[in-house]
Structure 1
Amino acid sequence: MTTYLTIGDFSRATHMTVKTLRHYHEIGLLEPADIDPQSGYRRYSTEQIPVAQVVRRFRELGMPLEEIRSVLTAADVRTRNEHVSAHLRRLEDELESTRRTVAALRDLLGPPTAAGDGPAIELRSVGEVRAAAVTATVGVEDVGAWFQGALGELFATVAGQGLRETGPAGGVYADELFTLHRGQATVFVPCDGPVRPVGRVEPLRVPAAELAVLEHVGPPSEVDRAYGALATYVARHELAVDGPLREYYLVGHRDTPDSAHWRTEVGWPVFRTRVDDRSPVAAQPGGDRRRARESR
């Protein structure tokens, strides 16, 4: 024999508010076992208590209502566990993102870095290189998606034309992209032969430049700290010149999906007035690391 509870008693039994139970009824997640046709009062069966407890526990764990519905209606245990595992992976990703944010905030709240103990900045002269490139005028809100699409197209084109990559992929970004949040951006892949234009890909000779270079480790969303450190260094020690900023992508999405391990060299154009023994002339971006990878 089925035993019914009023919505108030069911609320006390499941630790769900009456408002929540009404909402779950409206969206079809947890419907009453019976509704009085005269009064409209909702009644729940005692057999629904375990289901309600599962729903409440998953909500406490941050699972969206639609996913809870998928868990409850899963055809078998394996399918149900796949939904739970997917939510667990999202929680782990969010936790890692939160950890990086906390670390960045701690750095901002900490004391300034003492002179001589800051990030390693290298003065570098880079030579002209032949490359396959994609160039467009983009807004800063779209540059991430545009960058990933362009880079994928470049790698596919270089491989499809039987060319050999001769260095890490790079980017050249006009000042307007930073000052006006809209400007010209170029992504390129250095390669050893003539590039046949196809789609958005065009051949390009990336010009020689003198750069102050700093390596950033982590996701692109945190690269502004590297730019700030470079700007401070150049203002104090070097003669800045007009010209687009550069980035070289030593380790990226193609190497690992974990953005915490991505490595990007940021280059600020300068006019060098002194020789620095640590700064080889005509060095290739990431040259030592690239040669090490090729030797393995």
Structure 2
Amino acid sequence: MAVLLSIGEFATMTRLSRKALRHYHDVGVLEPAKIDPETGYRFYDTSQVRSAHLIRRFRELDMPVAEVKAVLEAPSESVRNEVIEAHLRRLEEQAERTREAIASLRVLLGSRSSDSSADPPIGFRSEPAVAAAAVTAVVGIDSVVEWWKGAVSEISTVLSGAGVTPSGVVGGLYSIELFSEEEGEASVFVPVDVVVPPVGRVHMVTVPAASLAVAVHSGPAEDQTYGQLGTFVAERGIGAAGPVREYYVEGGVEICWPVTSVASV
């Protein structure tokens, strides 16, 4: 049988402060079982203890109050679980970003700007124009990784369905605006020797020829490799207009910066 509890007793049982309980009442997440009309004192009953514990756990996991309310008021277990799973996925993604940031910071702390021995080797090559199956879109910098995964999967499905074998590795073209404005054009492409009919977002393109300075990156701190490669090109005055490229090779990523010509380097 439920028993009425003072706000102090309820706070002790749930580790939710008076301030927190008043806030959750105000936003409609946890309303008192009774409010004294004369004193305004809030009373809770013992059946609400579990809900309060859930609220506290969810908030400790940074679940927004609106989602906490949606969980508590979910019309079915499946709907409730969908809300919880969506939040857990966000937490996992955030944890992965945190791990990557920590690893990148360790790399930076372990290197010295005056010591070039840790810099990746930089080479040069000319890429001819090639026909490729591609997905192109204007994307935001925060969503480009997920977009890239979807694009690669879509191209792979289309080529497999058409019985076409790639003639080269997966590559990407990324506009300067993607980095400077946090939104810009990006293309993922797979070289092919035959014309592939357009399906969904996949279409044929000609990847233009380019002279490139190239550094291979592996592990965390991709921005550091970009910085080292860009610095190398800028200090020699050999940079050319055009998007940066990436080629996704075994063991890492070839980061490619356009240069005026390989012959002049």
**TM-score normalised by length of structure 1:** 0.66
- TM-fit CA distance, 1:247: 1.7
Partner of 1:161: 162
- TM superposition shift of 1:190: 0.6
1:229: Cα distance to partner?
1.3
Aligned residue number for residue 100 of structure 1:
100
Relative to structure 1, the CA distance from residue 5 to residue 239 in structure 2 (aligned partners, 3 Å threshold; closer, same or farther) is closer
Which residue of structure 1 aligns with residue 254 of structure 2?
Answer: 265
Equivalent position SS for 2:165: coil
Structure 2 portions without partners, runs of 5+: none
Give the corresponding residue for 2:214. Answer: 213
Q: Is the 8 A contact 2:120 2:217 kept in 1?
A: no
Unaligned ranges ≥5, structure 1: 252-261, 276-296
Q: Which amino acid aligns with 2:258?
A: P
- The residue aligned with 1:170 is 171
1:286 corresponding residue in structure 2 = none
Residue in structure 2 matched with residue 70 of structure 1 by the alignment: 71
Change (3 A) 1:166 1:83: same
- Structure 2 partner of 1:229: 228
State the identity %: 47
Q: CA deviation at 1:230?
A: 1.0
Measured in 2, the distance between the counterparts of 1:185 and 1:273 equals 28
Residue in structure 1 matched with residue 193 of structure 2 by the alignment: 192
User: What is residue 204 of structure 1 aligned with on the other side?
Assistant: 205
Asked whether the 8 Å contact 1:238–1:272 carries over to 2, the reply is no
Mapping of residues 93-132 of structure 1, within 5 Å: 93-110=93-110, 111-112=112-113, 114-132=115-133
Cα separation, 2, equivalents of 1:21 and 1:167: 61
Contact 2:131 2:207 in 1 (8 A): yes
TM-score (norm 2): 0.72
2:43 alignment partner in structure 1: 43
Pair 1:242–1:11, CA change in 2 (3 A):
closer
Show CA shifts across 1:119-161 (max 9, x none): 132323333322123456x365588276556545533443343
Q: Is the 8 A contact 1:239 1:272 kept in 2?
A: no
Separation (CA, whole Å) in 1 of partners of 2:86 and 2:177: 41
Q: Deviations over 1:170-204 (max 9, x none)?
A: 22345565567676544321112123355654433
What is the rounded CA distance, in whole Å, between the counterparts of 1:79 and 1:243 in structure 2? 47
Measured at CA, do residues 83 and 226 of structure 1 come closer, stay the same or move farther in structure 2, by a change above 3 Å?
same
Q: Give yes or no for contact 2:126–2:262 (8 Å, CA) kept in 1.
A: no
C-alpha contact (below 8 Å) 2:71/2:84 kept by paired residues: no
2:24 corresponding residue in structure 1:
24
**One-letter code aligned to 1:169:** V
Over 3 Å counting, the alpha-carbon distance change for 1:153 and 1:42 in structure 2 is same
Letter in structure 2 aligned against 1:234:
V
Let me know the Cα RMSD of the aligned residues: 4.2
Within 5 Å, give how 1:242-261 maps onto structure 2: 242-250=241-249
Q: 1:48 to 1:182 in 2, by over 3 A?
A: closer
> Per the alignment, in what secondary structure is the counterpart of residue 116 of structure 1?
helix
Deviates more, 1:58-67 or 1:138-147: 138-147
Against the structure 1 CA distance between its residues 216 and 17, is the aligned structure 2 distance closer, same or farther, given a 3 Å change threshold? same
